[in-house]
Amino acid sequence: MDRAELLRLASVALPGALGVIVATLIVAIALEDGSGASTPAGPRTGDHWHAPYAIFVLGTRLPAIPEVVTPLGVHTHGDGIIHIHPHLPEAEGSGASLSNFFAAMGGQLTATEMRVPANQTPTATARS
C-alpha cells in the first residue's frame, strides 16, 4: 500500500471511527441520571406508559379485566390496557412487570398459572 492509498483509507476510516466514538458517548450520557448510575429499563416515576393486553384460554378471548387500581400506580380501566405510571420506586423499571401487576391486584402470574381475583375474570392454569 503506497502513501496515497494509506491517506485515502485514513481519510475515510478516521471520521467513521470518530463518529462511532461520539455516538457511543452521546448514548452513555443520555443513559446517565446525574448520579453516575444508569437509568432503569422501563417506566420511571412520572412516566405514563400504556400496555395493551388480551387474555386467551384454550383459544377463547376472555373479557378485559375490569377496572383495577393498585398502590404502585399500575392500573386498568377495563379497557384492555394496563396503564403504568409508577408512584413508588419498586414499580419502576423491572418492577413494572405483569407478575407484579397481577400480585398487586390480588392475583398471580407464573410460568404455569395465571390467576385473576375471582371477581375479575376466570382462572387459567397451564397443563403439563
What tens digit of pLDDT does each residue of 88-102 get? Answer: 887 788 787 888 888
Rounded Cα distance between 54 and 65, Å, is 9
* 50 to 7, 33, 63, 74, 96: CA distances (angstroms): 52, 23, 18, 10, 11
Which pLDDT score, from 0 to 100, does residue 126 have?
Answer: 45
Position 125, amino acid: T
pTM over 0.85: no
Q: Are 108 and 89 in contact (CB under 8 A)?
A: no
Q: Has residue 86 got a pLDDT over 60? A: yes
Comparing C-alpha atoms, which of 85, 90, 64, 66 is closest to residue 74? 85
